[in-house]
Every structure is written in structure tokens, then in C-alpha cells.
Amino acid sequence: MRVRGLRTVLGRKTIFDGVDVDIPRGKVTAIMGPSGCGKTTMLRHITGQRMPDAGRIEIDGANVPTLSRQALFDLREKIGYLFQNSALLTDYDVFENVAFPLRQHLRLPEDVLRNIVLTKLEAVGLRGAAALMPAELSGGMARRVALARAIIRDPMLILYDEPFVGLDPIALNQVLRMIRTLNDTLGVTSVLVAHEFSAVARVADLVYLLAGGKVVAQGTPEALRKDPSPWTRQFFGGEADGPVPFQYPARDYATDLGFSEAAR
């Protein structure tokens, strides 16, 4: 999968300004960056939910922005997407949530469907929770259910949107292990969007760091850890100020407070 010359303008803000990303097959690729740099937007571009203003996004040679609605739907059937807030359907219990993509797209006998769903639930360790409603799940459990739903059709590509947010250390380790296991056993391509470097470093093969609408660093986690660029230093070191400014762009402070000569 390749992204070339991606350019997106949201309102008056330029989110991407010529971003190039290569995502190798069968590897875990992490896209990182400070909040608001467009990580989630990048995933939406990949699934075609949002169209970029310029640039190409190629998945298996097909350019996503030019696909028809039907072709997009066909493509999405081969993509698993894990939402930041899990996005389980509140009307259905866990079993029906996981079964939803199967019921919508395939006509399977009830016992076959049941076996597939229970297998996937077993893989995320929640077979016993099949009858619970989403409202009864903890955040970590909901995310695992959402993961089971994302892999129900054995996708070739799984997109994780902020999979580590709001998880306790146990749930975090469970999710990390599942991402790695899925990738190794099913041979899928994984893209994950996150900003916790320590967690990402344990699972990702390749990391892209986005900031200011550009790719500012890329490489393996080890390489990035040693990277001398100020962007990398600030982000992974967690310094409050740096190339990513603490201050939102504003007028001159003194002018705003009325202390400058012009204001008198």
C-alpha cells in the first residue's frame, strides 16, 4: 500500500501537505504524531470515507479516491477497522455485533455462523461474554469485541485507530499481544495510529511520525529512538515545547494585552 503526495485541507487548516507513506504487506506499521495532526484522517483516507484534495492512495494497485461507491464497499469488506471508541452497535448483544458483518454480506447456515463468531470471540478471550450487551462491557472488553468484529471476515488489512487510549496496563498488554498475534498468524497487514511510543515500540515494525502536515521521521522504532531530529526528540521525549509549539498561533502577546505602543 502506498500513499503519494497526499494533500488535505479541512476548513482553513491544511492537514496534510505532501505526505508519502509506504505500508509494507504483512508488517505492523504505526503512524504517530501529536494530537490533531491528522492520524485518524489518514485512516479515513485509506478507507475512502474522506476524499483527499490531492494525491494517490493505492491499495493493491487500486487508487482509493477514484473508486466507485460499489468498489469502495468491496474494498472495505477486505478491511477490518478498529474504532477509537469501539463503535459497537448498542442495539445488539456481543454475539450479534460480531456476527453483524457476516449476516450483512453472507448467507451462512446458523450453525456455521455461530462457530465462526465463537472462534473469533475465543481469540479475543470473550467467548463467555457473547450474551452481554455493549453497555455492560468495560472499555477494554468493548475494544476486544470490536477487534473480534474487525477480524470476522479475515481481512487482508486491519486499521487500528488509537487502540491504546484509555486502557489499563493489563488491557493494554492484551491488546498489544492480540495485534502481534493476529499479524503473525493471519499474515495481515496492520496499520495503527497512536501516540504512545512505548506501546508502539513493542509491536510496530515501522513507524512514521507526522507533524505539521508532513512526515518528519520514519524508520524502525529503534532507529527513531536514536534519531537526532528535534521533532523526534520532542515527541518521544515528551517535552512540552519544541518544534510542536506549546502556544497555539496567536497575535503578539503584548498587543493582545494592550501593552504595545500601537495600542496606546
**Count of residues touching another protein (by CB under 8 A):** 20
- Which of these, 37, 36, 34, lies nearest to 242 by C-alpha position? 34
Q: In the chain, what is the greatest distance between 2 CA atoms, to the nearest angstrom? A: 81
Least distance from another protein to the Cβ atom of residue 105, Å: 7
Contact present, 220 and 226 (Cβ < 8 Å): no
> If you write DSSP's letter for every residue of 59-70 in order, what string do you get?
ETTEEGGG--HH
Comparison of 4 and 76: residue with beta carbon closer to another protein: 76
Q: Is 116 in the site for another protein (CB under 8 A)?
A: no
Least distance from another protein to the Cβ atom of residue 101, Å: 5
Cell match 485512516: residue?
43
Comparison of 68 and 104: residue with beta carbon closer to another protein: 104
Q: Is 35 in the site for another protein (CB under 8 A)?
A: no
Q: Is 71 in the site for another protein (CB under 8 A)?
A: no
Q: Is 1 helix (H, G, I), strand (E, B) or coil?
A: coil
The piece of 74-82, 176-184, 225-233, 254-262 that touches another protein (CB under 8 A) is 74-82
Q: Which of residues 82-111 bind another protein (CB under 8 A)?
A: 83-85, 87-90, 100-101, 104-105
Q: Which of residues 135-164 bind another protein (CB under 8 A)?
A: 149
| Secondary structure E strands in the chain | 2-10, 13-22, 28-32, 54-59, 62-63, 79-82, 157-161, 189-194, 206-211, 214-219
The piece of 24-32, 69-77, 191-199, 214-222 that touches another protein (CB under 8 A) is 69-77
Distance from C-alpha of 201 to C-alpha of 49, rounded to nearest angstrom:
28
Which residues are at the interface with another protein (CB under 8 A)?
A: 47, 49, 73-74, 76-77, 79, 81, 83-85, 87-90, 100-101, 104-105, 149
